[in-house]
Structure 1
């Protein structure tokens, strides 16, 4: 949408006043007097309307920012995946001294050696669940947080499939626990070098939308997404992280501040599988019906705080205090970054 279009759609502010009245437009160039006297002041009529607050943001469709991955053991890097490879549960992320580090899906990383029956904890439950999901353990045992003799037997089956020594022990270098499958980004390490630095970057294995906002947006918020080819889909805010404070030169209302990086997951990954580039994200806010509205230019700031309208009654005028449905300053900020519509 062009800036001109934004100003037209955003130039109305809701006010809590009663009745159909005429108000004088504040500001602007005053008309000069003529031979027959001064020209009448410009006026506008308060109208009743429905308001749906929505904002459009520019976003980028891709795999999101990369997270760096380090090896969990010292040694020599002997194998690395290709950039762009997608790795799911049970897939190998890298090898150090020819020992594979396998991706397990879960919320708690392994933090100790699991080498004897009787060990309990959330890390054990993650191991049991992954062994069950890969078919090496029973489904019921996958819900247990206890490392048992059956767990050791399942580990040996898994190790046999990996073609490594069948010890029945899960050591720290053996697995890397992440929340979801990943897509490999930039591979920074080289084969034959020491595994003491960053090995590679990884992202989500499905495309997401990232965008910048001036304020926090709650996770779980539903959004509409317009794709580069004109098609539309929907998504939900998965994360919102506030960045460092910095001066914003393009802020028309002045002041520095920090941007919030918003990550949006797409409800139908197949809809964006072959798409890339810029998208438009529509964030729909609250709706109000039967409210009264005037152009922003009709508002007068009063010394005591708040706003008023200069109301015309016959040949006289008077100031009427009003309560705005949203801050004019906030509305101007919205005009600068999006397109709220009334």
Structure 2
């Protein structure tokens, strides 16, 4: 009986020894971070001789430890186009007599539409056209009063007698006798009409800047609409084929920040010009992304991203703007959450991110379509890396690499002559199937084994 128990005890000891010393390889199909953690938790089997047999049964493929930049990127879907549509606030009243074609590009001085056969012209600026522009007409001045004309009620004649009729008709002469003709006494002239006064404001300067850019001169670009401005406007109006009044009605102009692309029209020729009959976008192409509201740390203005186009090419872009208001995506989330929780709304909330391109030619002829946006989550430069598949979880804890040349330490930490020899490493960033490694025994160019 004692002999049987001793044999069983020795057998248990051998099994325990196998669990202590053998390494376990990290398979390529295991998720980067979770996979390595799982392997490190497994029981390890096999002694020194067994480790050598394991090494013989594994692939002889070896890869070098390399130094370089490791980048962890995340992908998100986007849409290539010309950005959001913006309606033109047309103030002209009347019947629409002409509309532009969709996708047409309109620049400064171009016609956005025609109302009552009068063009509504595009100019560049940030201020809207909120009033008519022109010289300000003054009310005619009244003549008379006192000794000059005796036109006010109670004005006195030269002899001190009060003129009670107060009007031009029946004005009294120097002798107190009524002037029968009621006209201006001899030697007196009627007051000239008041001259128009200049209109002032930043909207005037914005308009004059455009007028000069269109080639009309003879005035000073400032915030004052003078007679010289009016003269230039008359020449401009003549070229437009409209009456040269020298005045600009609020409905004659619409402003945009630059050239525009006609996105569409909401009325037909013959309809009333009301509201916003024409909408536009920017002429340059851009990508719009509905980013999760809880994950917009990457979306900082000026941040660089990589955009994969529908034709498979990749181009560089920059984040131009990030929306301030979150909106729920249609068909996602519910009031109580898919799992009955109260936070489902955060899953559906998105923020609009606009990505622009400095080099529009890099986009080729592609005008629209679905794209993939890649942005950097984390990046490490000048680090040592190996394929994730080369990692092994050591029995004493942590991770290691199996040396392809057989030099190094065994799984139990001692120098051996066995086929499987390992060096411990510290892992860092996981990205693109590779992992950052470091340690006193790891150097660039050393060869390590990877499994099949």
Q: Normalised by the shorter chain, which TM-score bucket?
A: 0.5 to 0.7
8 A Cα contact 1:237 1:264, kept in partner: yes
Following the alignment from structure 1 to structure 2, what is the Cα–Cα distance between the partners of residues 9 and 131?
A: 67
Alignment of 1:149-228 (within 5 A): 149-214=227-292, 215-216=295-296, 217-228=299-310
Residue in structure 2 matching 1:269, options 360, 372, 388: 360
8 A Cα contact 2:319 2:355, kept in partner: yes
Tell me: CA distance 1:256–1:167, structure 2 relative to 1, closer, same or farther (3 Å).
same
Following the alignment from structure 1 to structure 2, what is the Cα–Cα distance between the partners of residues 100 and 145?
A: 25
Structure 1 residue 224, shift from structure 2 partner? 2.7
Q: CA deviation digits over 1:54-111, x for unaligned, max 9?
A: 3333222222232223421332111111122111111111122222111011111122
Residue in structure 1 matching 2:322, options 221, 236, 240: 240
- Aligned equivalent of 2:180: none
Q: CA deviation digits over 1:19-63, x for unaligned, max 9?
A: xxxxx93599987x99xxxxxxxxxxxxx9965343333222222
- Aligned equivalent of 2:37: 25
8 A Cα contact 1:55 1:341, kept in partner: no
Structure 1 residue 207, shift from structure 2 partner? 1.7
Question: What is the root-mean-square deviation of aligned Cα atoms in Å?
Answer: 4.4
Structure 1 residue runs without a partner (length 5+): 1-6, 14-23, 35-47, 296-309, 316-324
Tell me: CA distance 1:100–1:137, structure 2 relative to 1, closer, same or farther (3 Å).
same
Structure 2 residue runs without a partner (length 5+): 1-27, 46-66, 136-196, 389-395, 400-410, 413-427, 436-452
Task: Please state if 1:287 is matched with 2:365.
Answer: no
Following the alignment from structure 1 to structure 2, what is the Cα–Cα distance between the partners of residues 248 and 290?
A: 42
Tell me: CA distance 1:210–1:166, structure 2 relative to 1, closer, same or farther (3 Å).
same
- Partner SS for 2:199: coil
Following the alignment from structure 1 to structure 2, what is the Cα–Cα distance between the partners of residues 62 and 87?
A: 18
Aligned residues: 283
Q: TM-score normalised to the size of structure 1?
A: 0.67
Tell me: CA distance 1:312–1:135, structure 2 relative to 1, closer, same or farther (3 Å).
closer
8 A Cα contact 2:199 2:224, kept in partner: yes
- Aligned equivalent of 1:301: none
- Partner SS for 2:229: helix
- Partner SS for 1:112: coil
Task: Please state if 1:11 is matched with 2:94.
Answer: no
Q: With CA pairs under 8 Å and 6+ residues apart, which has the higher RCO, 1 or 2?
A: 1
Following the alignment from structure 1 to structure 2, what is the Cα–Cα distance between the partners of residues 279 and 230?
A: 9
Tell me: CA distance 1:312–1:63, structure 2 relative to 1, closer, same or farther (3 Å).
closer
Following the alignment from structure 1 to structure 2, what is the Cα–Cα distance between the partners of residues 251 and 9?
A: 28
Task: Please state if 1:259 is matched with 2:350.
Answer: yes
Tell me: CA distance 1:92–1:311, structure 2 relative to 1, closer, same or farther (3 Å).
same
Following the alignment from structure 2 to structure 1, what is the Cα–Cα distance between the partners of residues 317 and 39?
A: 42
Task: Please state if 1:79 is matched with 2:98.
Answer: yes
- Aligned equivalent of 1:318: none
Q: TM-score normalised to the size of structure 2?
A: 0.52
Following the alignment from structure 2 to structure 1, what is the Cα–Cα distance between the partners of residues 29 and 113?
A: 56
Structure 1 residue 135, shift from structure 2 partner? 0.7
Following the alignment from structure 1 to structure 2, what is the Cα–Cα distance between the partners of residues 168 and 177?
A: 20
Tell me: CA distance 1:271–1:292, structure 2 relative to 1, closer, same or farther (3 Å).
closer
Structure 1 residue 236, shift from structure 2 partner? 2.1
Task: Please state if 1:126 is matched with 2:217.
Answer: no
Structure 1 residue 206, shift from structure 2 partner? 2.2
Tell me: CA distance 1:268–1:152, structure 2 relative to 1, closer, same or farther (3 Å).
same
8 A Cα contact 2:134 2:248, kept in partner: yes
Following the alignment from structure 2 to structure 1, what is the Cα–Cα distance between the partners of residues 433 and 113?
A: 48
Following the alignment from structure 1 to structure 2, what is the Cα–Cα distance between the partners of residues 112 and 79?
A: 24
